[in-house]
Structure 1
Amino acid sequence: MDRTPHEIINPLTLSDPVGYSHALVVTPGRAVYVGGQNARRSDGVLTGDSVVQQFDQALANMVEALRAAGAEPVHVVSMRVYTTSVSVYRVNLKTLGSVYRRHMGRYYPPMSVVGVTELLEPAALVELECAAVVPDVRDSAELEEGAPRELVEEVDEAFADASGTGEPEEVPEQSRA
């Protein structure tokens, strides 16, 4: 499935979202809630020394839990990323975006990144959770007949570090669409 059954809402009166949506209207269906996923492998060992490495494994775990429950990434209606280092997360946005697209495609639900002082697993740098809604079968037929939902396109350049300083560049006001 390369499109979401849910209606993405990004009002023109709000700033352009980059890597998330402002709101989403959920298609009726079966709710799936995925609890906090960190970078723990199937053998129970926490893997990865960096935010990027741990985000990769945690996101893979989240997608695996979704699929085990009969959901796909395009069914996610909200997502939260908890991190013990927002500044490191921010500096790595471009790389994190690439990791995200590898697991989730170019679908960006409403999402929050929350800085926390610590997580339950002492060595964890990130933890993810999400909610998804798998459409009812009868509603899927209506989706097939209707127009596909637009997926939000991420603009990597907005966070690209061309200066080599590790700081994201400012996006000029006139370059926003």
Structure 2
Amino acid sequence: MESKFREIINPSKIHDPIGFSHVVIPKGKKIAFLSGQLAWDKDFQVVGVNDLAKQTNMVYQNIQHTLNEIGATWDHVVKTTIFTTRPHDYGIIGAVTAEFFGDVPPPAQTLIGVTGLASPEFLIEIEATVVMDE
């Protein structure tokens, strides 16, 4: 997988990445920091209570809307930080992540297990760093 906006490096002497890239070097000039997104719809209703896949999908939909608003694509995302109350279910998170990134190389990523988020119904929150040309 090649990226127009990011140089991707996965060192051969460490484990293969699963759903992320070990090193991402941005090629752009402008950086945007996306606030952590939760599984809220536009009306502040929690989507997918007790369903990590549905919540992750809603979070990525919110990120997609944010990317659209600033004129960016998934290829512009250089780093995500995932906060979840279910870190052991990284396979579920990774599968949904792959749906959104598609053929674009995944970004550098940190997955952090937490005891709680903004409300007890939330299972996941994702923030992102985006690099663009202008």
TM-score (norm 1): 0.69
Greater share of strand: 2
Distance of 1:100 and 1:20 partners within structure 2: 9
Q: Helix, strand or coil for the counterpart of 1:81?
A: strand
Paired position in structure 2 for 1:100: 97
Mark the runs of 5 or more structure 1 residues left unpaired by the alignment.
Answer: 137-177
Distance of 2:98 and 2:19 partners within structure 1: 10
The alpha-carbon deviation at position 43 of structure 1 amounts to 1.2
Paired position in structure 1 for 2:9: 9
Q: Would you say how many aligned residue pairs link Structure 1 and Structure 2?
A: 131
The alpha-carbon deviation at position 97 of structure 1 amounts to 3.3
The alpha-carbon deviation at position 70 of structure 1 amounts to 1.5
Aligned-residue CA RMSD (Å): 1.6
Q: Which has the larger radius of gyration?
A: 1
Letter in 2 for 1:71: A
Mark the runs of 5 or more structure 2 residues left unpaired by the alignment.
Answer: none
Q: Helix, strand or coil for the counterpart of 2:45?
A: coil
Are the counterparts in 1 of residues 19 and 97 from structure 2 also a CA contact under 8 Å? no
Q: Which moved more, 1:40-49 or 1:101-110?
A: 101-110
- Per-residue CA deviations over 1:69-117 (Å, capped at 9, x if unaligned) read 1111110010011101212x23xx1x43332222222321100110001
| Superposed structure 1 runs of 4+ greater than 4 Å apart | none
Paired position in structure 2 for 1:132: 130
Letter in 1 for 2:58: Q
> Does 1:68 find its partner at 2:69?
yes
Q: Percent identity?
A: 29
> Aligned in 2, Cα 1:121/1:69: closer, same or farther, shift over 3 Å?
farther
The alpha-carbon deviation at position 22 of structure 1 amounts to 0.7
Are the counterparts in 2 of residues 31 and 131 from structure 1 also a CA contact under 8 Å? yes
Distance of 1:72 and 1:28 partners within structure 2: 13
